[in-house]
Structure 1
Amino acid sequence: MKSNLITRNGHDLLVAELKRLWHDERPEITKKVNWAASLGDRSENADYQYNKQILRKIDRRVRYLGKRLEELKIIDYMPEQEGKVYFGAWVEIENDEGERKSLRIVGVDEIYDHHPQHISIESPMAQALLRKQVDDEVEVQTPSGKKLWYINLISYEKSENT
């Protein structure tokens, strides 16, 4: 089952995307479809076909975002999280070879922008890191076998009210 957790920033980005699609992109494409339709024969009208396809894609995304935003639960930082890895944490990890990574544990809906440092709460790495603290050892099963990581740093993005 898909997680319904999301960071405040992730939620704000989805809301902004929905507004942009609905208020900017959809009206613009609708004008193009109407203009192309006014030219007559729609079956051989490439402008009409192409813009109608874009409009369907926008409408699909708008419907998805509308439903999904109702299901999501925003998780804000709480002082009790300090010192341990929980949802929304930035975690710096290092392995025996000296390879370092800085990762943020976010909701599945925040992975769509392909941010290289965001990992889903459902990923094996995130699951291994949860509830751990600095200097803990974390074993993660990867396609190439088990890997051992050490937690160097844990931090959180704090909102104005925390």
Structure 2
Amino acid sequence: MSEVRPNYITPGGFAAMRARYEHLFGTERPALVEVISWAAGNGDRSENGDYIYGRKKLREIDRELAHLSRRMKAAKLVDPARQGDRSKVFFGAIVTIVDDDDVERTVTLVGIDEADASEGRISWISPLAHALKGASVGDVRRVSLPGGMREYEIAAIRYPDP
């Protein structure tokens, strides 16, 4: 059996994942089981839309619960507020970068499960994050993106307060 790679995640990301798991397990799943039980009591299950849809939805919830459980089990919490060297970009850093066109953008390097590019949270294994890791303010890094090669200058690095 293959070993599960660690799932690096911030404390906030882990809390959100746990909250999602608890909501599904404690609220959505029991309510759905109740609907399925009610629908099963209505007779012929082969043409019972509530029963068929309920069972399908229950399988989806159970799959998501299993996925979240695996991800939480593999989670390795990394608190960026405890980062010793705050002069370089590491996991959890909040980095302000400037591109070739002088467009400024702020990104935070986070775990795979908490990445959301529209919110400025990029996965620590993304091409941009790989290019930024280890950089200091003033460094210029080249990144190969789907739109072509781009250069970014690191304008600022900060970490959450302890």
TM-score under structure 2 length normalisation = 0.91
Q: Which of 120, 124, 133 is the equivalent residue of 1:130?
A: 133
Q: How does 1:1-162 map to 2 (within 5 A)?
A: 4-77=7-80, 78-111=82-115, 115-158=118-161, 162=162
Contact persistence 1:3–1:107 (CA under 8 A): no
Deviation at 1:137, TM superposition (A): 0.5
In 1, are the aligned partners of 2:100 and 2:150 still within 8 Å (CA)? no
State the one-letter code of the partner of 1:86: F
The runs of at least 4 consecutive aligned structure 1 residues that moved more than 4 Å come to none
Instruction: Decide whether the 8 Å contact of 1:104 with 1:119 is kept in 2.
Output: yes
Q: What's the secondary structure of 1:83's corresponding residue?
A: coil
Identity %: 37
Q: Secondary structure at the match of 1:61?
A: helix
Gaps of 5+ in 2: none
How far off is 1:157 after superposition? 1.9
How many angstroms apart in 2 are the aligned matches of 1:153 and 1:21?
Answer: 39
Is residue 35–residue 54 contact of structure 2 (8 Å, CA) maintained in 1? yes
Backbone CA RMSD of aligned residues: 1.6
The TM-score normalised by the length of structure 1 is 0.91
Q: How many residues align?
A: 158
CA distances 1:63-85 after superposition (whole Å, capped 9, x unpaired): 11112201110001224131111
**What is the SS of the residue equivalent to 2:119?**
coil
Unpaired runs of 5+ in structure 1? none
Residues in 1 aligned to 2:5 and 2:76: alpha-carbon distance in whole angstroms: 12
- 1:114–1:82 Cα change, 3 Å: closer
Deviations 1:58-117 (A, max 9, x none): 111111111220111000122413111100111110012111111111111112x66431
